[in-house]
């Protein structure tokens, strides 16, 4: 029964100077908040980058002919020049539990001419219904309507529209080298404008119904360049990619399945570096908080030096005094943790729900080729919350060690006689 | 009055010395914080300067002189005619070329299509003066094969590696550039690959190519005209001042209403945003960190006031006014923070200077190239020491010390003299 009584003494000592206890606990709680907030912010940036980097256009997984990347030649369609039954591929991949949707795509490059002005641009042939399950391109429509899949209609980005001085309803001439060696050219009608916020997309890509583009580029309906897939969670994509590669082998078509970590390795690297940065934040913040706690503990033990001397004189062993002070520090740690959690989580939840608008500081930017909106996006990170809590308790106990040792080995007679 | 101030300062110093261990522990957190603050500030500045430098060399310089509509339209119709170009160059040279302008490059930019037998790609075609461009741009240092353009080249093109591969070209291959010329007609130009570059920025490597300015002018029917005149300064801090002096010089010439001087913040808004968000997250982190440090200081100074209630009571009974006892506490807190903050900043500076003055190598953490808003992150960060940052850091620490000592000082102000001396504690 010795342990609980030392515990109790430590706990009571905290109550003897509530203001000091509160301020010290506030310091540790602020440290907890700081770490969780910084990690939430960094996680938000990471998630934003991965979501936009994959969800805006790329998709989480892509399937190509093995020779398509990195040259992206017009001729390297799925299954080679003969084409393939890509519908069978799509039927197979959407059966995977991690895959949400899949959409075929055709790419070409050419000149867009409005009469007054001409610019080079990328032409992207999309299946309108299926594309919206994979990317946010179709939901970025800012003016007009989606093209009619059967007609020569297209969507262009607001940036390109401005530079070509085009309005919704205007005609535009497309000229593009076709797969049969000729120059394909046709008149299209701009039926709408899209805006993603990425100048690179909005200024360069024209979205064309897949059949219309295949006609322009002299490609058979069975020839596509890419199947883009979305998954329920970006982090499930690498695993799903491996499953799909195995599952597609029986189809007998040469295919290359690549998830976003392979398409954009720098994004994965950034995410991993962020994770290791978290522990550095924890160490820095608590190392600095450590001094404050140690200082207060030192003061409170010094204040009670007579009390400890009396206890020692009455027969308490030094290690029991040590235990008292350490349990006091531990109790302080727990109070701080409860305070920190009580302050942090409501705030994090609030900011997660209603991200703070930062557009007054900076505009849209791109990071590793992904759009980042100017909002303070906060994400939850439960494992890190646990580790940080542990680090807080450890800090409190570490801070208590030196004051505890000083209290335990003070000379009782000298102290009592007032020396 | 001044002797009283001296006494207060002396008292404050003595009080700090009397509690040496407590003062040291409080100072330790401030020293660590100050060192960390200055380290992250100068390293951040170094990183940003690197981003800006490589981005402006790729784009139109720290400052760009353009026609008023060009920033929006990016079209050849908003170009600078040769007369105005002469005017700008004359205005710059008149009365001496400004010392902080390192280079001046004329460029003719057009968006068109590059095509070969293998296919076609959209291309950003830049007509450049090979000699000055080699000094200005970083592209000539990124040569992969062949060489950069030289004076006397006519049908030469310096092509991004991505574009080269996409068009299935090699050194010496011929390919066709197609774009709308000054008259609004579609015009073609045959060029030959003399060299390739790789910047690491996919958008650039896939689309950019350089051709001689004279070739571009003849092809597009606007010889002597340019779309922008880029200026490279010594560093990014000189931008606002150089810009206003340049504007002033230009405004004295007739016909300059059509021209505008853009800084990199306007011509590269994404880079501006990247620098701002990086600074913002740094400030956020430092703000939180110093909040924690401040709480530690509040605690120590407050405790020292509480312990010395009797002492303050006696002092006030002997004639110290409440205001003076409050300022004593304030001075104590300020001494402690400013002294330790200065030590911290000095420590941070010297550690950074000795260990990483030549550059902090992060290449072990970065296996792939990282691009931020069209800039490749260099794996070696060279810190940038600026007096302004040190002043900023010191004032911030001073402010923190002031705020942290305010509440304890207020407590000292409200001490009831009679009450504190009533009984032995």
Q: Write the pLDDT tens digit of every residue in A55-99.
A: 888 899 999 988 887 777 888 888 877 778 888 889 989 999 999
Average pLDDT of chain B, as a whole number: 85
Segment A365-385 mean pLDDT: 80
DSSP three-state, residue B384 = coil
CB contact under 8 A, A284 and B289: yes
Residue B112 contacts A where some CB pair is shorter than 8 Å: yes
Query: How does DSSP assign A263-316, residue by residue?
Result: H-HHHHHHHHHHHHHHHHHHHHHHHHHHHHHHHHHHHHHHHTHHHHHHHHHTT-
Span A119-156, pLDDT tens digits: 888 999 999 889 999 998 888 899 999 999 888 999 99
Segment B62-78 mean pLDDT: 85
Q: How many CB atoms lie within 10 A of CB B276?
A: 18
Q: Is-contact B181 B162, C-beta < 8 A?
A: no
CA-nearest of B98, B96, B80 to B88 is B80
DSSP three-state, residue A213 = helix
Average pLDDT of chain A, as a whole number: 87
Q: For residue A100, give how far its alpha carbon lies from the nearest alpha carbon of chain B (Å).
A: 29
Tokens 């024209």, residue located:
A206
Span B236-291, pLDDT tens digits: 888 888 888 888 888 877 777 788 889 988 888 878 888 888 888 888 888 888 88
Residue B399 CA to residue B408 CA, distance in Å, equals: 15
User: Which band of pLDDT confidence, cut at 50, 70 and 90, is reported for residue B425?
Assistant: very low
Q: Is-contact B222 B84, C-beta < 8 A?
A: no
Q: Is-contact B289 A34, C-beta < 8 A?
A: yes
Whether the CA torsion A160, A166, A172, A175 is positive or negative: it is negative
Span A259-285, pLDDT tens digits: 998 888 878 888 887 787 788 888 888
Q: For residue B124, give how far its alpha carbon lies from the nearest alpha carbon of chain A (Å).
A: 9
Segment B371-381 mean pLDDT: 72
Beta bridge partners of B263: B63
Q: For residue A375, give how far its alpha carbon lies from the nearest alpha carbon of chain B (Å).
A: 10
pLDDT score of A188: 94
CB contact under 8 A, A73 and B120: no
Q: In terms of DSSP bridges, do strands A356-357 and A183-194 run parallel, antiparallel, or are they unpaired?
A: unpaired
User: Which band of pLDDT confidence, cut at 50, 70 and 90, is reported for residue B97?
Assistant: low
User: Which band of pLDDT confidence, cut at 50, 70 and 90, is reported for residue B159?
Assistant: very high
Per the structure block, which two tokens stand in for A412? 């009782």
Segment A319-348 mean pLDDT: 91
CB contact under 8 A, B295 and A23: yes
CB contact under 8 A, A367 and B119: no
Contacts of B120 in chain A (CB under 8 A): 109-110, 120, 176-177
Contacts of B119 in chain A (CB under 8 A): 73-74, 109, 177
Span B301-340, pLDDT tens digits: 888 888 788 888 888 888 888 888 888 888 888 888 989 9
Query: What H or E segment, with its residue span, contains residue B349?
Result: helix B322-356
Maximum Cα–Cα distance for chain A, whole Å?
Answer: 106
Whether the CA torsion B310, B311, B313, B317 is positive or negative: it is positive
Q: For residue B262, give how far its alpha carbon lies from the nearest alpha carbon of chain A (Å).
A: 18
Region of A144 on the Ramachandran plot (φ > 0 left; ψ -120 to 50 alpha; else beta): left
Residue A95 CA to residue A102 CA, distance in Å, equals: 10
Percentage of residues of chain B with pLDDT beyond 90: 19
Span A109-127, pLDDT tens digits: 888 988 778 888 899 999 9
CB contact under 8 A, B299 and A273: no
Percentage of residues of chain A with pLDDT beyond 70: 98
Residue of A393 and A80 predicted with greater confidence: A393
Residue B162 CA to residue B169 CA, distance in Å, equals: 10
User: Which band of pLDDT confidence, cut at 50, 70 and 90, is reported for residue A4?
Assistant: low
Residue B317 contacts A where some CB pair is shorter than 8 Å: no
DSSP three-state, residue B194 = strand
Segment B345-374 mean pLDDT: 78
CB contact under 8 A, B122 and A163: no
Residues 6+ apart with CB under 8 A from A323: A3, A6, A10
Across the interface, of A37, A177, A296, the residue whose CB is closest to B299 is: A296
Across the interface, of A270, A288, A367, the residue whose CB is closest to B29 is: A288
ipTM of the complex: 0.72
Residue of B400 and B5 predicted with greater confidence: B400
Residue A270 contacts B where some CB pair is shorter than 8 Å: yes
The radius of gyration computed from the CA coordinates of chain A, to the nearest angstrom, equals 32
Q: Is-contact B369 B421, C-beta < 8 A?
A: no
Q: Is residue A1 pLDDT above 70, yes or no?
A: no
The radius of gyration computed from the CA coordinates of chain B, to the nearest angstrom, equals 31
Q: Is-contact B297 B26, C-beta < 8 A?
A: yes
Q: Is-contact B38 B349, C-beta < 8 A?
A: yes
Span A34-49, pLDDT tens digits: 889 888 988 888 888 8
pLDDT score of B424: 55
Residue of chain A with shortest Cα separation from B30: A288
Residue A402 contacts B where some CB pair is shorter than 8 Å: no
Beta strands in A225-266 (DSSP E): 226-231, 256-259
Residue B119 contacts A where some CB pair is shorter than 8 Å: yes
Q: Is-contact A356 A374, C-beta < 8 A?
A: no
Residue of A350 and B303 predicted with greater confidence: A350
User: Which band of pLDDT confidence, cut at 50, 70 and 90, is reported for residue B171?
Assistant: very high
Burial class of residue B402, CB neighbours in 10 A (0-12, 13-18, 19+)? middle
């Amino acid at each position: 029964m010795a342990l609980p009584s030392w515990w109790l003494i430590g706990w009571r000592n905290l109550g003897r100077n509530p203001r000091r206890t509160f301020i010290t606990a506030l310091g540790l709680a602020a440290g907890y908040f700081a770490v969780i907030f910084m990690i939430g912010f960094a996680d938000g940036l990471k998630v934003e980058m991965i979501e936009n980097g994959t969800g805006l256009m790329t998709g989480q997984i892509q399937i190509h002919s093995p020779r398509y990347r990195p040259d992206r030649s017009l001729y390297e369609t799925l299954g080679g020049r003969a084409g393939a039954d890509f519908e069978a591929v799509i039927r197979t991949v959407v059966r995977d539990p991690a895959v949400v949707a899949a959409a075929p795509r055709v790419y070409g490059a050419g000149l867009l001419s409005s009469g007054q002005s001409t610019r080079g641009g990328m032409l992207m042939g999309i299946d309108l219904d299926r594309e919206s399950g994979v990317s946010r391109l179709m939901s970025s429509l800012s003016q007009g309507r989606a093209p009619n899949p059967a007609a020569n209609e297209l969507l262009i980005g607001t940036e390109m529209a401005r530079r070509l001085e085009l309005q919704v309803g205007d005609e535009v001439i497309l000229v593009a080298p076709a797969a049969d060696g000729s120059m394909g050219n046709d008149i299209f009608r701009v039926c709408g404008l899209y805006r993603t916020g990425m100048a690179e997309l909005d200024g360069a890509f024209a979205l064309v119904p897949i059949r219309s583009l295949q006609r322009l580029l002299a490609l058979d309906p069975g020839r596509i360049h890419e199947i883009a897939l979305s998954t329920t969670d970006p982090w499930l994509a690498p695993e799903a990619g491996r499953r799909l590669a195995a599952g597609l082998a029986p189809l007998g078509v040469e295919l290359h399945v690549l998830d976003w970590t392979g398409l954009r390795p720098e994004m994965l690297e950034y995410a991993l570096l962020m994770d290791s940065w978290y522990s550095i934040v924890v160490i820095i913040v608590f190392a600095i908080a450590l001094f404050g706690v140690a200082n207060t503990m030192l003061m409170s033990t010094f204040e009670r030096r007579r009390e400890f001397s009396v206890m020692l004189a009455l027969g308490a062993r030094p290690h029991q005094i040590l235990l008292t002070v350490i349990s006091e520090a531990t109790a302080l740690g727990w109070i701080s943790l409860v305070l920190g959690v009580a302050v942090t989580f409501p705030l994090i939840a609030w900011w997660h729900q209603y991200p703070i608008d930062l557009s007054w500081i900076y505009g849209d930017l791109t990071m590793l080729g992904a759009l980042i909106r100017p909002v303070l996006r906060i994400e939850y990170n439960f494992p890190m919350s646990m580790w940080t809590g542990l680090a807080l308790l450890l800090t409190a106990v570490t801070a208590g060690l030196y004051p505890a040792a000083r209290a335990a080995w003070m000379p009782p007679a000298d102290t009592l006689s007032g020396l | 009055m001044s002797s009283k101030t001296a006494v207060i300062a002396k008292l404050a110093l003595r009080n700090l010395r009397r509690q040496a261990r407590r003062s040291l522990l409080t100072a330790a957190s401030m020293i660590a914080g100050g060192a960390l603050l200055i380290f992250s500030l100068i390293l951040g500045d170094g990183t940003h300067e690197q981003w800006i430098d490589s981005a402006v060399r790729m784009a139109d310089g720290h400052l760009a002189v353009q026609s008023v509509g060009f920033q929006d339209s990016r079209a050849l119709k908003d170009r600078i005619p040769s007369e105005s170009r002469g005017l700008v160059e004359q205005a710059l040279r008149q009365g001496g070329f400004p010392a902080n302008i390192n280079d001046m490059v004329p460029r003719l930019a057009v968006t068109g299509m590059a095509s070969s037998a293998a296919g076609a790609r959209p291309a950003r075609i830049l007509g450049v003066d090979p000699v000055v461009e080699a000094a200005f741009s970083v592209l000539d240092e990124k040569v992969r094969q062949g060489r950069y353009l030289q004076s006397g080249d006519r049908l030469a093109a310096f092509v991004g590696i991505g574009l080269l591969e996409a068009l299935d070209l090699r050194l010496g291959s011929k390919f066709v550039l197609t774009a709308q010329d000054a008259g609004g007609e579609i015009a073609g130009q045959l060029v030959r690959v003399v060299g390739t570059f790789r910047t690491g920025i996919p958008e650039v490597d896939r689309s950019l190519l350089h051709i001689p300015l004279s070739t571009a002018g003849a092809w597009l029917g606007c010889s002597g005209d340019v779309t922008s005149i880029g200026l490279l300064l010594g560093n990014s801090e000189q931008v606002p001042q150089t810009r206003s002096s340049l504007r002033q010089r230009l405004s004295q010439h007739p016909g300059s209403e059509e021209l505008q001087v853009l800084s990199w913040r306007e011509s590269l808004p994404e880079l501006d945003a990247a620098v701002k968000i990086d600074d913002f997250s740094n400030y956020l982190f430092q703000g939180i960190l110093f909040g924690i440090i401040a709480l530690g200081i509040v605690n120590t100074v407050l405790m020292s006031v509480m312990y010395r209630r009797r002492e303050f009571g006696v002092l006030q009974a002997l004639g110290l006014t409440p205001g003076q006892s409050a300022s004593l506490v304030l001075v104590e807190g300020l001494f402690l923070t400013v002294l330790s903050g200065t030590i911290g900043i000095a420590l941070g500076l010297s550690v950074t200077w000795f260990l990483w003055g030549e550059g902090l190598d992060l290449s072990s953490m970065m296996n792939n190239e990282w691009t931020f808003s069209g800039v490749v992150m260099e794996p070696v960060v060279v810190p940038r020491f600026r007096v302004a940052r040190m002043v900023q850091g010191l004032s911030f620490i001073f402010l923190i010390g002031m705020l942290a000592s305010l509440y304890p000082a207020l407590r000292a102000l409200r001490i009831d003299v009679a009450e504190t001396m009533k009984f032995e504690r």
